Structure 1
Amino acid sequence: MKANTLGFFRVALLLLLMPVAARADDPPQSGQPVFDHVVELVMEHFYDASALDRFVTAVRDEMEDQEAPVTADSTEARVDAAIDTVLASLDASHTGRYKPDGIDYFELIDIFRFAVRDHMRRLFPPEGEASYLGIGIVAQEADGALFVSDVYDGSPADRAGILVGDEIVSVDGAPYDEIRSFQDKVGDTVEVRLRRHEGAEPITIEATVERLRPLQSFSKAIEESATVTERDGRRIGYVRLWTLSSRDAMDVVARELATGRLKDADGVVVDLRGRWGGGQSDAAELFVGDTAPFRLILRDGEEILANVRWNRPVVAIIDEGSRSGLEVFAYSLKTNGIPLVGARTAGALLAGRAYLLPDDSLLILAVSDAVLGEETRLEGRGIQPDTPATFGLPYSAGRDPQLDAAIEEMRRILAEG
């Protein structure tokens, strides 16, 4: 799931210091500690006070449900369903609960590590570094089956040849589970049964399980994604921004553009179909900023990049995975005349904060609105591409029509000089 994603505006932290008056119509306590804590946090910190009335109604409905009211003795499944329902009533991005049975939990807890810093050593002993065992894939359900929706560049799955669009039949003979399939198997090889084409016999691919540190893995994936292909005698570069939340995400891109694999490209395709947003709101300055690029040269000849600016053609790819900080990035490119190819962005642009709940699940809650320029809001709207291109996940076998369309757009730009 990507619908509920992280925020990135530092101003959101200031809201945590503001006192909030109690409401006369606050819902009663259910006695279930996780459910009640979610309700308290929403009532105290959710950014849109006008949504709280319908939230309170949803909470009361769950507590008064004649078939299964939420009480202190409610089952875990009932509590999970109730929390999902009341949070959905807020109809906002950057708002959701995540449990340690999915990759989202580990990625988000690493992204929001500062907010839960007092608990990290307990959650991830002994170093306090968020990590999970896996092979670097994310799956999405479609038509009753699970399909690989993301393969992190440079991951064990990438090296093994697993492709986006592959149906996951099993892992080591058991149904695929994001976390349990790789539990206690670090360093081991797992057999992943995949169906690459509809109706075809499954194939088996072996991949080595690694301990993955989310932000570190994202930085590596950004770096490994940088490639150059030749078309019509021109060099077209490509890089994918999986997230802007890694501390060095844009440094990695700048390094590849200035001195790495992309430095001799005639144009570059920037892929904003990410996992999470985050980052600083001026990240796109690398491509649209007007300050001069410069570098520092030390006595021994070593060069330090101080300010990188890419002044050659750019095309960007967007889709529903472009959200939060990546939507700000896309908006900045679009307003500067850089063509966008793909599908509408997520329309998920609020500032979120993380809260650890009593059962160690993670609540992400929208605590601030976000406005671009004078009055532009992308929440619930998103950004439309200049050149629409659709992507069908099941059995795509690694084919990427959106990337193909972006490369064609770049070929057109380069041909026009």
Structure 2
Amino acid sequence: MRYQNTILIACLLYLVMLCSCTSSKHKIDVTAIPPSFTYQQLFDALSDTVRIHFYDTAFIQKTFPQLTAKYREQVLMVPDRAGFDRLVRDYLAEFHTSHTSYHTQDDHTYFHLAGIFEPLPNVQAVFGADGVQYPSIGLLTERHNKEIVVVGVLDGSPAQAAGLLKGDVMQYLDREVYSIAVLRKNLDRNISFPIKRGGQSILVDVTPRMVRAQEEMQEACRQSARLIEKNGKKIAYIHMWSFAGRQYYELLQEQLLYGDLAQADALILDIRDGWGGASPEYLNIFNRNIPNLVFYDRQRQSRTFSTQWRKPVGLLINNGSRSGKEILAYGFKKYNIGPVIGEKTAGAVTAGRIFFLPDNSLLYLAVNEVAIDGEILEGIGVYPDITASDDPITPQDEQLEEAVRVMSEM
């Protein structure tokens, strides 16, 4: 019960008690699509799960029946798996709700979501003793119209080493679109991947590798930590790509209190993009109203027991800051912890739960509405104190540059 309560609090992005519809006790090959399920059966399993668990009962009673009937008719006409996947995503988009999406084994989000819930039995039943692993080059991507666009390049990843940038458009490799399947086929092989950047097509050399989803995100956070010098000050910087699990908060504590960042004059906490999952209690590291402990040995040598970051801190946000991260941004502003810099957050603050469908594809569904100090942020978001936009065409990070300027002057 204590573990379940921890997940309930700490994973506001992915609130869950149970997370799968499957009862299999054996490892399932998540790279395969069992042929025994028709598209109509899969759609019915998905829509039934939505009907039972979606948090908005008014929507279920008034809108859901007609909407579902319309899409169920269209399922009969889909020509292939790709068409079915698009149809389901279009269906869920009409809910106009965050934490409500559909993912297959050819989508990095599928593995990231499963990785977040990896300790739970039904995820282990799907992935087995090896855990949630997948082929990766360290990219976060989204489909914009018919293009696959890079929305994040994880620190320390092969993609970063290859020079890939946010805003790059992934193009076809050997007539295949960028996908988990393409990476799996080229695992541990150096490949020249075509991308489009600023209207020009270029090749980047990169080697896909097998990674554990959670470890990949944690290592990216750790690799991002660095000191930036500006105006004679040392500014600590760390990009928390995810907060979905207490281990990320502990990593932040480790970096700020005991690592090289502890010697900085100020801090930029970057919560742009990636995954949410932050608990409100994570703001406590910036609470200065905590006693400071100093220990003295018999030679009067002192040692400080650090539990808090007591120096200036700024929060960097954008429209990819979602869910639990938005709660941190809300707290920063309401309790005057430090300046919030960047762009308005996503306004994606419900609590989600994952369900495996019969073919092991994944439904991510909003199962709870969330209020923060009585306020609803879903569909609204959090506005920055200092607005800074980022030009995706340029390699510079204009938002970070503005945050460095602000914090160097505090």
Query: TM-score, normalization: structure 1?
Result: 0.81
Query: How far apart, CA to CA, are the structure 1 residues paired with 2:141 and 2:157?
Result: 15
Displacement of 1:129 after TM fit? Answer: 0.7
- For structure 1, which segment, 239-248 or 98-107, has the greater mean C-alpha deviation from structure 2 after superposition? 239-248
- Pair 153,294 (structure 1): closer, same or farther in 2 beyond 3 Å: farther
- The amino acid of 1:97's aligned partner reads Y
- For structure 1, which segment, 187-196 or 355-364, has the greater mean C-alpha deviation from structure 2 after superposition? 187-196
- Pair 10,257 (structure 1): closer, same or farther in 2 beyond 3 Å: closer
Partner of 1:400: 397
Q: Deviations over 1:276-331 (max 9, x none)?
A: 11132311211236333559999xxxxx9986211101111111111111111111
Query: How far apart, CA to CA, are the structure 2 residues paired with 1:90 and 1:146?
Result: 23
Displacement of 1:247 after TM fit? Answer: 3.9
- Pair 75,252 (structure 1): closer, same or farther in 2 beyond 3 Å: same
Partner of 2:257: 258
2:53 aligned with 1:45, yes or no? yes
Query: How far apart, CA to CA, are the structure 1 residues paired with 2:15 and 2:292?
Result: 32
Partner of 1:61: 70
Partner of 2:340: 340
Partner of 1:155: 157
Partner of 1:99: 104
2:318 aligned with 1:319, yes or no? yes
Structure 2 residues without counterparts, runs of 5 or longer: 1-8, 20-37, 298-302
Looking at secondary structure, tell me which structure has more helix per residue: 2
- Pair 33,295 (structure 1): closer, same or farther in 2 beyond 3 Å: farther
Displacement of 1:228 after TM fit? Answer: 0.6
Asked if structure 1 preserves the Cα contact closer than 8 Å seen for 2:353 and 2:364, the reply is yes
Query: How far apart, CA to CA, are the structure 2 residues paired with 1:222 and 1:187?
Result: 23
Partner of 1:188: 189
Asked if structure 2 preserves the Cα contact closer than 8 Å seen for 1:320 and 1:345, the reply is yes
SS in 2 for 1:101: coil
1:6-405 equivalence runs, <5 A: 8-9=11-12, 13=16, 32-52=40-60, 53-63=62-72, 65=73, 68=74, 70=76, 75-115=80-120, 117-121=121-125, 123-125=126-128, 127-140=129-142, 145-171=147-173, 173-199=174-200, 202=202, 204-288=203-287, 290-292=289-291, 308-337=307-336, 338-373=338-373, 375-393=374-392, 395-397=393-395, 399-405=396-402
Asked if structure 2 preserves the Cα contact closer than 8 Å seen for 1:288 and 1:336, the reply is no
- Pair 56,198 (structure 1): closer, same or farther in 2 beyond 3 Å: same
Displacement of 1:132 after TM fit? Answer: 0.9
- Pair 356,410 (structure 1): closer, same or farther in 2 beyond 3 Å: same
Q: CA RMSD in A?
A: 3.2
Asked if structure 2 preserves the Cα contact closer than 8 Å seen for 1:218 and 1:246, the reply is no
- Pair 11,406 (structure 1): closer, same or farther in 2 beyond 3 Å: closer
SS in 2 for 1:32: helix
Q: Deviations over 1:174-218 (max 9, x none)?
A: 55413122114332222233455544x62x432222112111111
Q: Deviations over 1:215-255 (max 9, x none)?
A: 11111111110111111110011111101014411111111
Query: How far apart, CA to CA, are the structure 1 residues paired with 2:148 and 2:40?
Result: 33
Asked if structure 1 preserves the Cα contact closer than 8 Å seen for 2:140 and 2:274, the reply is no
Asked if structure 1 preserves the Cα contact closer than 8 Å seen for 2:272 and 2:316, the reply is yes
- Pair 293,273 (structure 1): closer, same or farther in 2 beyond 3 Å: farther
Displacement of 1:137 after TM fit? Answer: 1.4
Q: Deviations over 1:365-411 (max 9, x none)?
A: 111111111x2110000001111111232x322x1111111111112
Displacement of 1:62 after TM fit? Answer: 2.2
- Pair 92,220 (structure 1): closer, same or farther in 2 beyond 3 Å: same
Query: How far apart, CA to CA, are the structure 2 residues paired with 1:79 and 1:296?
Result: 64
Query: How far apart, CA to CA, are the structure 2 residues paired with 1:143 and 1:368?
Result: 29
Query: How far apart, CA to CA, are the structure 2 residues paired with 1:164 and 1:10?
Result: 23
How many residue pairs get aligned? The number is: 378
Q: Deviations over 1:104-158 (max 9, x none)?
A: 111011112345x33535x435x24111112111234568654432111111122
Displacement of 1:12 after TM fit? Answer: 5.4
Asked if structure 2 preserves the Cα contact closer than 8 Å seen for 1:238 and 1:270, the reply is yes
Displacement of 1:164 after TM fit? Answer: 2.7
2:408 aligned with 1:411, yes or no? yes
Query: How far apart, CA to CA, are the structure 2 residues paired with 1:305 and 1:279?
Result: 28
Query: TM-score, normalization: structure 2?
Result: 0.82
Asked if structure 2 preserves the Cα contact closer than 8 Å seen for 1:135 and 1:210, the reply is yes
Partner of 2:31: none
Structure 1 residues without counterparts, runs of 5 or longer: 1-5, 17-29, 299-303
Query: How far apart, CA to CA, are the structure 2 residues paired with 1:305 and 1:50?
Result: 55
